Structure 1
Amino acid sequence: MNKVCELLNIKYPIIQGGMAWVANSSLASAVSNAGGLGLIAGGNAPKEIIKEEIRKCRELTDKPFGVNVMLLSPFVDEIIDLIIEEKIPVITTGAGNPAKYLDRLKEAGVKVIPVVPSIALAQRMEKLGVDAIIVEGTEAGGHIGELTTMVLTPQVVDSVKIPVIAAGGIADGRGIVAAFALGAKGVQIGTRFICSEECNVHENYKNMVLKSKDRDAIVTGRSTGHPVRTLKNKLAKEILSMEKEGVPSEEIDKRGIGSLRVATVDGDIHNGSFMAGQIASIIKDIKPCKEILDDMVSQAKNIMPNIEL
């Protein structure tokens, strides 16, 4: 049996990305019901909001689901408490090192899967005793590292013994086969699920993804040390020109504050931050999560009949 499926008690080794303001109970439960692992994004939300999402998710699915914990969140301590209280079976972590919470989480039986952008961090996480790692290439949407999925995945696979889950640039069965050929035991997919029926973001966000072309997912914020991949629009171009002019990073950061909510909730195509991966332009339709997963799996099996999905 596939190691990731065994570890997480799921049908397919496909994890839905923990996209802030996108991955709520509606999307997470739909992915879990379809056989993957749905995630509720913690983002910068306080405990009460995440608790309510967990409650809703439990009403919508009896399958395992997890929470993505953003370690830079001002509420991270209370979110970890909540995960333990609610007996959440698995968490993924981003934007930091989960070391200080690991003992408590392990004691509570929570599986911990950090997102890592480098071999050094992957090895450090393995030493700390995490259950698996998500290797995220620069193709991904949102906050990114510099190395590509194609390059980083096999190097990390060769340097650790725990299961490696590949993320960044995967939106169909071909991407899954490529990740498995590089040694991954599972994949994490984000952008494709934005264009699912159960994703509650503003329709304009979905349309931005559907209309995007191959060079539309650009990176802003490199000069601030916090690079983010978003779809090209007025805000992204404005930030890029601020960077070119050498505007201080505090001012650049200030310009982006709240822009993700402006995209996901308000659907403002000019001033919102429409985070999406480089694979966005491959996505041409909006379908239920079950159909998305089934199509991916059958395409992967057609290409590689002996793939361990």
Structure 2
Amino acid sequence: MKTRITELLGIEYPIIQGGMAWVAEYHLAAAVSEAGGLGLIGAASAPPEIVREQIREAKKLTDKPIGVNVMLLNPNAEEVAKVIVEEGIKVVTTGAGNPGKFMELWKSAGVKVIPVVASVAMAKMMERAGADAIIAEGTEAGGHIGSITTMVLLPQIVDAVSIPVVGAGGVADERGFAAAMMLGADAVQMGTIFITAKESIVHSNYKQKVITAKDIDSEVTGRSTGHPVRSLRNKMTREYLKLEEEGASFEELEYLTLGSLRKAVVDGDVINGTIMAGQIAGLVKEEKSCEEIIHGIISRAEKLLKM
């Protein structure tokens, strides 16, 4: 399946794995790339040397393209940006800010820069800044989100920019993939379904919470702080929403979630940890390999798109 994104990134299928903090490490990234998509290592707030190690370990498992997701709020972002160039990474996705200050460094090294955006205005700004493509992420997605749905946001961004657009948020099967392509996307980005992949090192408790989730089981916390996050509901989200309702300070809310994603992903504490996942979790019913996920979606989507 050839699109502008497969040509740009040198990948076989127009599927990108989300750069999820703690989840998107080298085992998963390498498995997605080996299966023909683009695997991403989520740098999150990791120190630069950890990111370097993750890149090197991924390269031992695959010789296909892999990328790194850079969280621009990370105090180590500048050092991580340099590590990406030094380690020969050719694709970067960015979130939580404007990658403008790293554009010259990355572009001169031949790195393709693909920012995640949640509005048309941001998409236009990123195109002007020199982005090679855009990820249009709807509010259905897990983790940090905007306010516009994928179905509404994606076609408006496609119409607003001339560079390739990747649809993200609410995609976990061939129907979502086909819908995104019909709305003008050149690829999709998926996160939630890869949490449950066999190659994912996420704790089995976390995977089971995603697999058993129903359509109404996600919750958005942090609206009062201007940093909304979508997770599966549990004791932690209930406490957080109660504190928000009572007008708790930003510091109090931050303290509640300190280290909570690691608690869920690594320790399997799905009661007090943060179980980031998208609204599409209710559609994810079993653990599959990355190859089964990607090849299954592509083969079935091709039939839908020919109808």
- 2:116 corresponds to 1:115: yes
Deviations 1:34-62 (A, max 9, x none): 00000000000001111111111000001
Amino-acid identity (%): 58
Shift of 1:125: 0.7
- 2:77 corresponds to 1:65: no
1:127 corresponding residue in structure 2: 128
2:171 corresponding residue in structure 1: 170
1:4 corresponding residue in structure 2: 5
1:216 corresponding residue in structure 2: 217
Shift of 1:305: 2.3
Deviations 1:107-157 (A, max 9, x none): 000000000010001001111111000000000000000000000000000
User: How does 1:121-200 map onto structure 2 within 5 Å?
Assistant: 121-200=122-201
Deviations 1:201-257 (A, max 9, x none): 100000000111111111001011110000000000100011111111210111111
1:227 corresponding residue in structure 2: 228
Shift of 1:302: 1.6
TM-score of the two chains, using structure 2 as the length reference: 0.99
2:207 corresponding residue in structure 1: 206
Shift of 1:95: 0.3
1:279 corresponding residue in structure 2: 280
AA in 2 matched with 1:122: A
2:56 corresponding residue in structure 1: 55
- Counterpart CA distance in 2 for 1:219 and 1:136 is 16
* SS of the residue 2:266 aligns to: helix
- Counterpart CA distance in 1 for 2:62 and 2:172 is 24
1:293 corresponding residue in structure 2: 294
Runs of 4 or more consecutive aligned structure 1 residues displaced over 3 Å after TM superposition: none
TM-score of the two chains, using structure 1 as the length reference: 0.98
- 2:26 corresponds to 1:25: yes
Shift of 1:87: 1.2
Shift of 1:97: 0.2
- Counterpart CA distance in 1 for 2:185 and 2:130 is 19
Shift of 1:168: 0.2
- Counterpart CA distance in 2 for 1:98 and 1:26 is 26
1:261 corresponding residue in structure 2: 262
* SS of the residue 1:69 aligns to: strand
Aligned length: 306
- Counterpart CA distance in 2 for 1:70 and 1:96 is 8
- Counterpart CA distance in 1 for 2:225 and 2:169 is 22
* SS of the residue 2:136 aligns to: strand
Which segments of 5 or more consecutive residues in structure 2 lack a partner in the other structure? Answer: none
- Counterpart CA distance in 2 for 1:239 and 1:299 is 40
AA in 1 matched with 2:11: I
- Counterpart CA distance in 2 for 1:163 and 1:7 is 9
* SS of the residue 1:236 aligns to: helix
Tell me how large the CA RMSD over aligned residues is. 0.7
* SS of the residue 2:155 aligns to: helix
User: How does 1:24-103 map onto structure 2 within 5 Å?
Assistant: 24-103=25-104
- Counterpart CA distance in 2 for 1:111 and 1:269 is 36
- Counterpart CA distance in 1 for 2:30 and 2:306 is 28
AA in 2 matched with 1:192: I
AA in 2 matched with 1:17: G
- Counterpart CA distance in 2 for 1:194 and 1:269 is 14
- Counterpart CA distance in 1 for 2:31 and 2:107 is 27
- Counterpart CA distance in 2 for 1:47 and 1:140 is 27
- Counterpart CA distance in 2 for 1:21 and 1:299 is 30
- Counterpart CA distance in 2 for 1:103 and 1:88 is 15
- Counterpart CA distance in 2 for 1:234 and 1:272 is 9
- Counterpart CA distance in 1 for 2:258 and 2:138 is 24
* SS of the residue 1:269 aligns to: coil
AA in 2 matched with 1:207: Q
AA in 1 matched with 2:56: R
Which segments of 5 or more consecutive residues in structure 1 lack a partner in the other structure? Answer: none
